[in-house]
Structure 1
Amino acid sequence: MATEEDVKQRQIVEDRARNISHNVRCTECGSQSIEDSQADVAVLLRRLIRDEIKSGKSDKEIYKKIEDNFGETVLYAPKFDIQTATIWLSPVIVGGVAAGVWAYQKHRQGTNVHIMALNLVRWVPLTPRDKETMIDIPTPPLLTRRWWWTVK
């Protein structure tokens, strides 16, 4: 008959094995953990995990062995490195670039006409009177957007 200590030890091994199995993806199913899958490879992996626990390996060592044998994608929680950081941060970077382009275009729309005119004729020699005339060119009013419900 099993002693209470043996029952406790088996329960600890079982709890650790289930915890690890929930964090490992089934290589055959792909969408299920090996704990939930009934595929042959999942059954073998669950047995391997229990054997490794009984032999005294830590959870970290077991994850490392599974990752070495099946690749990083078998784990539900991949390591955080420069590649995964790039994948996770790419939407933020793309959004920042889009916001920068939008702000630059808005800034260009608000540029005064006389500054644009001076930039156009930068290489053309101007007399002081021409420069004075260009500075006195009135700036057109900013265009205001009209919404569809606004009446003229």
Structure 2
Amino acid sequence: MRLPEPISALCLFVSIMVALVATQPAFAVNPDEVLSDPVLEERARDLSATIRCMKCQNQSIDDSDADLARDLRILLRERLAAGDSDQEVLDFLVARYGEFVLLKPRFTAANLLLWAAPVLGLLGGFLLVMRYFRTRKGEAEPAAGDLTKAEHAKLTKILDDRE
């Protein structure tokens, strides 16, 4: 038995809406953590999305249910409520927990090698491949100038005998 067209369209619409709602990220911020000022809460959400949960290590504190993430969310909101700027809050957390607390590390002289390593690796690999092919080419076709006097004389004799 087929459903009438309007009912099947409604079922499809409801299914799509359920799928969209189910795939939305679930934030771990508890209602008791939310600031009363919507502007400060928005700043807190933006900042907490850039802070790594030290326990989960691949989630932001906004997405993590860990107790440490909750403590960091509360600390972050306390600092914002006290009047700290976003940069001051980040600097405080980095001073307390290290650069690892940031999901996107800063570009500094201390981690320059980490940022440059992929480029240096590709350049080194390219140079090794070029060197390999140059040495192979040199082995296959020795230059005439590389012959010793005895080899040159022998080659000349062979060519003269052929004529």
1:19 matched to 2:19: no
Find the partner of 1:67 among 87, 94, 108. 94
Matches within 5 A, 1:83-122: 83-111=110-138, 112-118=142-148
| Bigger helix fraction | 2
5+ residue gaps in structure 2? 1-35, 159-163
What is the CA-CA distance between 1:93 and the residue it aligns to? 1.6
Flag the 1:134–1:64 CA change in 2: closer, same or farther, 3 A. Answer: farther
- 1:114, 1:134 within 8 Å by CA — same for their partners in 2? no
- Once the two structures are TM-superposed, the CA of residue 136 in structure 1 deviates from its matched residue by 5.9
Which residue is 2:11 aligned to?
Answer: none
Q: Aligned residues: percent identity?
A: 28
CA RMSD between the two structures: 2.7
1:28 aligned counterpart, secondary structure: coil
Count of residues in correspondence between the two structures:
120
Amino acid across the alignment from 2:145: I
Unpaired segments ≥5 residues, structure 1: 1-8, 119-125, 139-152
In 2, Cα distance between the equivalents of 1:53 and 1:16?
Answer: 8
Rate the CA distance shift 1:137–1:80 in 2: closer, same or farther, 3 A.
Answer: farther
* Structure 1 residues 108 and 133, CA gap change in structure 2 (3 angstroms): farther
Q: Which AA in structure 1 matches 2:80? A: I
Distance across 1 between alignment mates of 2:72 and 2:48: 8
Q: Which deviates more from structure 2 when the two are superposed, residues 100-109 or residues 33-42?
A: 100-109
TM-score (norm 2): 0.62
Query: CA shift at 1:132, angstroms?
Result: 6.3
Structure 1 residues 133, 91: closer, same or farther in 2, change over 3 A?
farther
- 1:19, CA displacement in angstroms? 0.7
1:50 alignment partner, one of 70, 77, 93: 77
**Superposition deviation, residue 25 in structure 1:** 0.8
